[in-house]
Amino acid sequence: MTVGGRIKAAWLQVLKHGLNRFTLRAAHAGRGPFVLMEHVGRRSGRTFETPLIVARTDGGFVVELTYGTQVQWYRNVLAAGGGTIVRGARRWRVGAPQLLDPQAGRAAFTAPARLALRVLRRREFRFLPDAPPPPEL
């Protein structure tokens, strides 16, 4: 692993064990800008929750991939063909992530968020479409 790769991995561990604890509580309470992406581990089969900031759009959600496509939540959702977004008591099933043009991705967010995304030169966006409800038995 390169030095840059080790630094990125260390930073992700700091987020996972520090900031994520706060954002998990906020998302469970339905406060702040956070939601939880509930996903199933592609190897372990365990259910995980990862805090994210998303924008609700017609037919789904837009997410900016701050840490790229190699993060576990994204790889798990891609492998499973979807996951569940949770905010407080509300839950939305979403399908597989779809590539989204950076301009369209930024446009889904509020004006202040769009400005921040532009200044930070964020270009990795995905659309998570609403999944149809499961068939009744």
CATH number of the CATH domain containing 31 = 2.30.110.10
What residues make up the domain containing 24? 3-129
Let me know if residue 24 belongs to a domain: yes
Asked if pLDDT for residue 107 goes beyond 90, the answer is: yes
Domain contains 34: yes
At 12 the pLDDT is 62
In the chain, what percentage of residues exceed pLDDT 90?
61
The number of domains in the chain is 1
Average pLDDT for residues 65-86, to the nearest whole number? 94
Could you tell me which of 12, 131, 137 has the C-alpha nearest to residue 73? 12
In a domain, 137, yes or no: no
134 within some domain: no
Residue 135 pLDDT more than 90?
Answer: no
- Residue 70 domain-assigned? yes
The verdict on residue 25 lying in a domain is yes
What pLDDT shows up at residue 137? 67
Say if pTM beats, i.e. exceeds, 0.75.
yes
Specify if 136 maps to a domain: no
Mean pLDDT of the chain: 88
Instruction: Give 32-52 pLDDT, tens digit per residue.
Output: 778 999 999 999 999 999 989
Q: Helix, strand, or coil here: 137?
A: coil
Q: Which residue has the higher pLDDT, 116 or 13?
A: 116
Assigned domain for 135 exists: no
Give me the pLDDT at residue 18, please.
Answer: 65
Q: In what order do the strands lie in the sheet with 82-87?
A: 90-95, 82-87, 34-40, 47-57, 60-64, 125-129, 98-100
